[in-house]
């Protein structure tokens, strides 16, 4: 091949690449069977299963967040007899590792299976930061179980996050609960600490805004990295500002270091620490041991009295299926996310004469967004225009023992507020 | 002399000079600004110092393992961090066993001794195994194979620990005897930190005696100096290598025990981060150099705990502790710019030159 010929081939290749890039950016509706959809259509042949994926943290210190929600979802499928619009349901959970990178990896694996209709999760906000754009690029809407960062459903969110519909509270409300608690213990000077994760940073910011608006002062706003083990220098620094409460919505590993090391810093030894339901898990007791005793955290109030009789039945099924009581605080959200996904699929799925089913991807996302009066485990759920559908009553819990085998919502940790 | 330098200086020399001046200026500004706006009392500065010495002692013990193996084989054993992790788990399980047997509270010295022996045995065993599996088969080839195989072994060790002990972080049993606070020169320090620093110093003294005063220590130094000559002098090089791995492993095991006592939480993945820090400390002090590893460990620990308060605070950086690792590694780079062979220099450098 002469040099000129080689150049011509290269030029042709470059032009083809450019054209392909431009075309792929354009919106092209897809029509398959009786369904036309802007994003794409999934065809499920007669007798084939409907695939529902999940992207949840299933390993590492924070696995309770994801495993608990995943178990809730499995019970929802059981309640639906594992069938949907005439097809069996196949549930495909992937591990998101509670990190941006894990979310990306898990989402890529899910997105490679184009038969997946929708995805439950994520459990951690960071997983969505990495995974949501990949999933929505593949046209898979998400029913979020416990990722609570406000950015995920902000009105001005980027295109990549527009597949997200959230079946858990938004941290703007979670921060409100923490502010209420701070006021109830008459704290006016509060220090905050986050670990740089999307969840913790946004929650701390929301808390600071609301607490200042309520007349309080943030005396120190500190940050650590999730892998830090020696928190004593930063705690010493916080101690110099003499806070009356330390609000630290960080995850299991770092929280366990925090509770043990805070007691070794003389100026902070008697300051109460408030965490969140990110550490509402036996794994936290595994890591913190007796250091956990007295540690308080905000979380969803799963008091069976408040949740109604249906929650009691749910708990019985959970125990029967998995041989233990719930291991975290988001089983109800997992159930509701699965329920909403199934309801939305039923609403948009169209079956032709041959028994094949067609589901429009954008239609499914829109149907999820329009969820209204859904009778969930965590309450009656209606989505707002941004895709926030969570209804949660908040409470503050306190750990009474460091033995992981004693973990039971309502007993250890026990409810102390309101 | 200045004229001579000016005549010979290249662009790179000028760049390095500018970089050095910039570093000194930034650090100096931060330091002076911090002094002008004092935020911390003397007691708090003392606490920072104590934290730095404690974590520094642990870094130093890990760094010694890297540096000894490098000194003899000129190879970095990347599985060393995981040897440390196994030591921590061994210490954790032996203390739990002592607790069940009811001797942890009443007889802390015996429990500590049992835990020390067990973690030394386990870590030295894992280190010797690492040598046998990941190093010895590749000895004859002059390639990067041993380096890569230690990396692979590191993952094998991590994930076997995950399989055996679980993916969750594990609480390290607390020893009532080392809880509490002691008064020291008018300041109060957690007792556990005093114990850890003392134990680390004692370990390093013992190590120095082994290396400088025993036959096998002499053999180690001889092999480090010139392996071929040592072989000719009748030294069993294989035995020396196995001993070096075992000694480094034992130190890592003790570091695991001390780490558990201070931080009270261990996980299967902890060896990675601390291994990197330990390796950094070894490079900082001058890899291959035993006193260098000790110094490097303490320097890294002190910079991590004092740096944010001393430099960043004055520069008005918010949440300075999030940048702790950045400071530590920046310092590592800066030291290597000023002194490319580490604080105390590579011991092997003279032989190589």
**What's residue A26's pLDDT?**
45
Class for the domain spanning A172-303+395-417: alpha beta
Predicted confidence (pLDDT) per residue in B63-105, tens digit:
999 999 888 888 888 899 999 999 999 999 999 999 898 888 8
| β-strand pairing of A50-56 with A83-84 | unpaired
Task: With beta carbons less than 8 A apart as the criterion, state whether B80 and B129 touch.
Answer: no
Predicted confidence (pLDDT) per residue in A268-297, tens digit:
888 889 999 888 888 888 888 888 888 999
Residues spanned by CATH 3.40.50.2300 within chain A? 41-170+308-392, 172-303+395-417
Stronger pLDDT, A129 or A10, i.e. the higher one:
A129
Residue range A58-70: average pLDDT?
Answer: 88
Predicted confidence (pLDDT) per residue in B294-318, tens digit:
999 999 999 988 888 887 777 777 7
C-beta neighbour count of B158 within 10 angstroms: 21
Predicted confidence (pLDDT) per residue in A316-371, tens digit:
999 999 998 888 888 989 999 999 999 999 999 999 988 899 999 999 999 999 99
* Element (DSSP H or E) covering residue A10: helix A3-25
CATH of domain A41-170+308-392: 3.40.50.2300
- Residues of chain A in contact with residue B321, where contact means CB-CB under 8 angstroms, are 222-224, 228, 233-234, 237
C-alpha dihedral (A194, A198, A204, A208), degrees to nearest 10: 140
C-alpha dihedral (A31, A33, A35, A40), degrees to nearest 10: -50
Residue range A187-198: average pLDDT?
Answer: 89
State yes or no: pLDDT of A267 exceeds 80.
yes
Nearest to B325 among A63, A225, A286 (CB): A225
**What's residue A28's pLDDT?**
62
Tell if the CB–CB gap between B321 and A234 is shorter than 8 Å.
Answer: yes
Nearest to A287 among B171, B188, B273 (CB): B171
* Element (DSSP H or E) covering residue B164: helix B145-165
Chain A touched by B183 (CB under 8 Å): no
**What's residue B353's pLDDT?**
35
Tell if the CB–CB gap between A236 and B47 is shorter than 8 Å.
Answer: yes
**What's residue B348's pLDDT?**
47
Tell if the CB–CB gap between B169 and A256 is shorter than 8 Å.
Answer: yes
Nearest to A61 among B168, B172, B264 (CB): B168
Nearest to B267 among A234, A239, A253 (CB): A253
Q: Choose the mutation target among A98, A194, A204, A236 for the interface with B, i.e. most B CBs under 10 Å.
A: A236
Among candidates B184, B182, B185, B187, which has minimal Cα distance to B40?
A: B187
Chain A touched by B149 (CB under 8 Å): no
Distance from CA of B164 to the nearest CA of A (A): 14
Stronger pLDDT, B273 or B253, i.e. the higher one:
B253
Distance from CA of A235 to the nearest CA of B (A): 10
Nearest to A233 among B41, B48, B265 (CB): B48
Residue range B43-59: average pLDDT?
Answer: 89
Tell if the CB–CB gap between B51 and A233 is shorter than 8 Å.
Answer: yes
The encoded tokens of residue B50 equal: 């104590």
Distance from CA of B321 to the nearest CA of A (A): 6
Distance between CA A56 and CA A74 in Å, rounded? Answer: 13
Of the listed ranges A339-348, B142-151, B279-288, the least confidently predicted one is: B142-151
- Residues of chain B in contact with residue A230, where contact means CB-CB under 8 angstroms, are 51, 55, 263, 304-305
Of the listed ranges A98-102, A346-350, B164-168, B244-248, the least confidently predicted one is: B164-168
State yes or no: pLDDT of A171 exceeds 60.
yes
Predicted confidence (pLDDT) per residue in A95-146, tens digit:
999 899 999 999 999 999 999 999 998 999 999 999 999 999 999 999 999 8
């Amino acid at each position: 091949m002469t040099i000129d010929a080689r150049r011509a081939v290269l030029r042709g290749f470059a032009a083809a690449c450019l054209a392909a890039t431009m075309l792929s950016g354009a919106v092209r509706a897809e029509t398959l069977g009786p369904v036309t959809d802007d994003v794409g259509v999934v065809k499920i042949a007669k007798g084939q299963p409907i695939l529902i994926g999940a992207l949840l943290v299933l390993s590492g210190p924070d696995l309770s967040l994801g495993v608990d929600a995943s178990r809730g979802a499995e019970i929802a499928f059981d309640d639906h007899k594992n069938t949907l619009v005439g097809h069996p349901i196949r549930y495909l959970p992937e591990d998101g590792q509670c990190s941006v990178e894990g979310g990306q990896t898990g989402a890529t694996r899910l997105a490679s299976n184009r038969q997946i209709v929708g995805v439950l999760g994520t459990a951690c906000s960071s997983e969505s930061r990495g995974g949501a754009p990949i999933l929505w690029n593949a046209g898979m809407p998400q029913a979020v179980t416990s990722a609570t960062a406000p950015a995920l459903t902000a009105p001005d969110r980027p295109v990549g996050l527009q597949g997200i519909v959230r079946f858990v509270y938004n941290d703007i409300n979670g921060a409100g609960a923490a502010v209420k608690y701070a006021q109830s213990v008459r704290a006016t000077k509060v220090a905050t600490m986050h670990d740089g994760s999307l969840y913790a940073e946004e929650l701390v910011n929301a808390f600071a805004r609301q607490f200042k608006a309520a007349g309080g002062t943030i005396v120190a706003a500190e940050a650590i990295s999730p892998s830090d083990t020696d928190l004593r220098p930063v705690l010493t620094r916080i101690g110099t500002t003499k806070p009356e409460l330390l609000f630290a919505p960080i995850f299991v590993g770092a929280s366990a270091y925090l509770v043990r090391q805070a007691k070794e810093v003389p100026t902070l030894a008697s300051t109460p620490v408030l965490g969140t339901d990110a550490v509402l898990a036996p794994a936290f007791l595994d890591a913190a041991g007796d250091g956990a005793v007295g540690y308080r955290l905000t979380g969803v109030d799963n008091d069976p009295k408040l949740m109604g009789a249906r929650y009691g039945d749910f708990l019985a099924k959970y125990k029967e299926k998995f041989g233990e009581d719930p291991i975290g605080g988001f089983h109800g959200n997992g159930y509701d996310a699965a329920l909403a996904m199934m309801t939305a699929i039923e609403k948009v799925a169209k079956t032709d004469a041959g028994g094949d089913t067609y589901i429009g991807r954008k239609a499914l996302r829109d149907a999820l967004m329009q969820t209204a009066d859904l009778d969930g485990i965590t309450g009656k759920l209606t989505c707002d225009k941004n895709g926030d559908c969570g209804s949660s009553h908040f409470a503050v819990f306190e750990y009474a023992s460091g033995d992981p085998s004693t973990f039971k919502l309502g007993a250890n940790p026990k409810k102390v507020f309101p | 002399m200045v004229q001579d330098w000016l005549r010979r200086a290249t662009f790179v020399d000028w760049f390095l000079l500018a970089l050095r001046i910039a570093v000194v200026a930034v650090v100096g500004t931060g330091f002076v600004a911090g002094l002008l706006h004092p935020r911390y009392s003397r007691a708090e500065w003392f606490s920072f110092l104590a934290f730095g010495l404690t974590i520094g002692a642990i870094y130093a013990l890990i760094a010694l393992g890297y540096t000894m193996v490098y000194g003899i084989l000129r190879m970095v054993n990347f599985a060393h961090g995981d040897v440390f992790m196994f030591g921590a788990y061994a210490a954790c399980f032996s203390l739990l066993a002592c607790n069940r047997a009811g001797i942890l509270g009443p007889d802390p010295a015996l429990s500590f001794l049992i835990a020390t022996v067990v973690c030394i045995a386990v870590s030295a065993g894992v280190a010797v195994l690492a040598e046998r599996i990941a190093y010895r088969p590749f000895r004859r080839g002059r390639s990067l194979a041993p380096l890569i195989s230690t990396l692979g072994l590191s993952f094998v060790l991590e994930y076997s620990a995950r399989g055996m002990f679980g993916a969750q972080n594990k609480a390290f049993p607390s020893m009532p005897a080392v809880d509490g606070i002691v008064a020291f020169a008018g300041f109060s320090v957690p007792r556990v930190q005093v114990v850890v620093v003392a134990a680390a110093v004692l370990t390093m003294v013992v190590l120095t005696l082994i290396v400088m005063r025993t036959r096998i220590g002499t053999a180690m130094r001889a092999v480090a100096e010139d392996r071929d000559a040592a072989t000719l002098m009748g030294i069993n090089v294989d035995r020396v290598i196995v001993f070096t791995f075992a000694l480094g492993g034992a130190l890592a095991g003790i570091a695991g025990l001390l780490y558990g006592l201070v931080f009270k939480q261990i996980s299967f993945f902890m060896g990675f981060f601390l291994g990197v820090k330990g390796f950094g400390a070894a490079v900082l002090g001058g890899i291959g150099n035993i006193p260098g590893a000790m110094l490097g460990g303490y320097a890294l620990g002190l910079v991590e705990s004092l740096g944010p308060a001393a430099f960043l605070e004055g520069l008005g950086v918010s949440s300075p502790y999030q940048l702790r690792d950045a400071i530590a590694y920046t310092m590592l780079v800066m030291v290597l710019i000023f002194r490319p062979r580490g604080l105390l220099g590579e011991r092997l450098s003279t032989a190589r030159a």
